[in-house]
Structure 1
Amino acid sequence: MFERALICTDLFDGLHRLVHCVPHLALSGLKQVIFLHSIPVWEQPTLAAVDQGKIDAAKEKLSPALANIPDGMTVIVEISNRRPVDAVREILAHHSIDVILMGNPMRGAVQEKLFGSTSLAIAAMTDIPLLIFRPQLLSVYTRDELALRCQRLWKHLLIPYDGSSDAIYLIEQIEKYAQTSAPGSFEQCLLVWVVENISRDPSVTEYRLNDARRELESVQARLEKLGLQVQSEVRLGTPVLEVLTAAEENDISAIAVATSHRSNMLEWLAVRRINEDILHQLWFPILFFSPKG
């Protein structure tokens, strides 16, 4: 599905552990991986001073990524003294990147959110998809478990669909990336349409359920033409909770979401009425798409 990944890590988010899984990242279809760690030296560039000790320590921690590189794969380790967002912008200016992997800080309750400030800022400046992980998830895996996860980063996606412009845009992006995916990297997807039970008239609810089934069948047929294994479900209930339940009941690698307009994830969350309590229940990686401009 993706071939060139930028992995941004603060060395506390669990993503730094992927340096031990480079051969397994290759099995997910990746041909180029850049590990990026930012050590911003000062908010004012004119007063900046390089902390060489921190840079050397970060290089040493990420150096295992360079020890076991499969044939045909390129691995780069970058240590930047810029702010994380500026460091990412510089990488994107010099390298072709398909997907950005990010985690979130684990250093305080205030920062313990699904989408950290850096993720939000990067999502606002690029149309490159973001794959966002909960640090707690990556941190508790054994190396063998993490290696298996790296082979299946986007192998089976859950795609929430409701016929909206965001959902249509998401399907278009899935189609786009599915056409260029390496064999075995992206194989399955689960389409889930959740109909909210807000009508007192059972006949109205049944009509909406049947209408959703018909549209999902059409979307399923489109994706199956690309060689994907596609299942579809229509559920009745609260959208976010039903999507989480569907993810738990199926062998899902990540949940794909999108906004069809130039936005950021905070706006997407507000539109979807997703509150922080629900986010704390969400342990699945999120694959986020949004357009540029």
Structure 2
Amino acid sequence: MARLLANEDTELLYAPGYLLPLRWDGPSVVFIHDTIALTHPSLCRRGNAVNYRLLLPPSARRATLIATPSDVSSHDVVRHCGVPPERVRTAPLGVEIPPTPTLDTIAAARERLGIDVPFLLAVSTIEPKKNFADLIRWFDTWKAAGLPHHLVIIGKWGWGYQDVQRALARARFRECIHLPGYVPQSELPPIIAAAELLLMPSRYEGFGLPALEAMAVGTPVVASNQGALPETVGDAGLIIPLERVLWQAEIFTLLNHPERLQMMREAGLARAAAFPWSRCAERLCAIFEEATALAEPHTAPPDPIA
């Protein structure tokens, strides 16, 4: 790869997925979404954790500039990859604002899920960092305390999902927990809009795109205080430490205050509107231009006139 790029007289290499090609030492920008392999290796596949712990820091140090989706990720890159902060830039991800869901599209979403009662929603690949096993266990206690809602978890099965399967097998209210599997991105907005809340009890996030997607359709977001979630959600959602008692108290209180839910819907729509993909693209283009300029050889000043 490095030889091919060199033959093409490459001005700048952009690596959007964490790592530069091996032996590439030309001008470059690498996008590092998170440093979970370095900070939370137990939340990664073992092979990925080992590989990224070996490859990510030296790759980051070779890059002309590094882009990340959040200030939290930028700080983690500086701290764990040994990169000077002046070489790290933040380029927040974006969201496409979908057409406003109608009563008909929301009804169709409920019909697809087979649910005719209010429900709480989580959306992501089922893997340890999403903390869905705890969510299922917490939901069981919420139902026992009188919560009328169902729980829907949308996403494909990833890795390390055995704890989720055990939680499902032991759930007292298993009939109220729905896992419809993967849903195409184009079909998600009306499903998210039909939910009372989007829940993100993640143990770590480098950005937290599902929160932004929920706010874009006016669904209130409740998220953990881990990683970049407080930064992404801002004041438009509810941020709660990862403690079952706190989540139960806050969610029950929130669901019993419709005026607060409406305020969160409006705040979420406004926040999502501030994250268009065009903003991310413009930020990346500016980073590319800066990296190219930094890599250009400096012209020597002219000799002084005698």
Which band: TM-score by shorter chain? 0.3 to 0.5
Between structure 1 and structure 2, the one with the greater Rg is 2
If the length of structure 1 is used for normalisation, what is the TM-score?
A: 0.37
Higher helix share: 2
Higher strand share: 1
Higher relative contact order (CA 8 A, sep 6+): 1
